[in-house]
Amino acid sequence: MHSSGNKRIWPKSLNRADGQNTLQAKHILGPGNGLTDGNPNLAQYGLKCVEDIRRASIISQDGLDDWEQAANSNDVYNWSDPERLLAFRRAVDTRRSAIYQNFFDRLGFEEWLAL
């Protein structure tokens, strides 16, 4: 739960508006081309569809199945299923790895290693 893969750098106004919303309501799950309901706050940041939000949240297509299983849209408050917990852990770990890979690539650490 306290993993960096379970956190996202997100504008304060958007984060407060999300609150305890489900991943569907946060526009992370659903069809990639699904619109964000014309939310002007999201549009202000260029986030017009679900795929835009996934990209900004560093959630790849590879980890999406785990996020869907962890969301448990049928019973969001029931965490008694160990498979749900494992899916959440895999999703968070995959995202954490992607975050650090993103830092590594964007900051050019590969070039630093050559020095």
31-to-22, 39, 99, 103 alpha-carbon distances in Å = 15, 17, 23, 27
pTM for the whole structure: 0.79
Encode pLDDT of 78-104 as tens digits: 999 999 999 999 999 999 998 888 888
Band (pLDDT 50/70/90 cuts) for residue 110 is confident
Band (pLDDT 50/70/90 cuts) for residue 10 is confident
Domain extents in the chain? 9-57, 61-115
The token duo for 52 is 């835009």
Report the chain's mean pLDDT, rounded to a whole number. 86
